[in-house]
């Protein structure tokens, strides 16, 4: 069953214990689109966290890949 908020956006089922930087990036971007809900300090923290998550996501994607010698 899909749950919708008051604007009709589908709220995803969140499984506890599973964290994913890409998902957090999506949530932060959604929050920043509704900037009227936050004060200046909260907006700075959201933007800072978004920058950090982009860095984390980039680092997690790096690597030798499958089957390459290290």
- Over residues 5-40, the pLDDT tens digits come to 677 776 666 566 778 899 999 999 999 999 999 999
CA distance 43 to 23: 19
Tens of pLDDT, residue by residue over 58-69, are 988 877 666 555
Specify the higher pLDDT residue, 48 or 20.
48
pLDDT at residue 41 greater than cutoff 90: yes
* Res 1 pLDDT > 60: no
Q: How far apart are the C-alpha atoms of 4 and 13, rounded to whole Å? A: 11
Distances (CA, A) of 45 to 8, 13, 42, 50, 66: 27, 25, 5, 9, 36
Separation between Cα atoms, residue 31 and residue 46, nearest integer Å: 8
> First-to-last CA distance in the chain?
45
């Amino acid at each position: 069953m899909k749950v919708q908020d008051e604007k009709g956006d589908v709220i995803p089922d969140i499984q506890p214990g599973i964290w994913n930087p890409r998902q957090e990036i999506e949530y932060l971007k959604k929050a920043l689109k509704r900037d009227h809900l936050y004060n200046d300090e909260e907006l700075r923290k959201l933007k800072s966290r978004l920058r950090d998550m982009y860095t984390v996501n980039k680092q997690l994607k790096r690597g030798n890949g499958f089957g390459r010698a290290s």
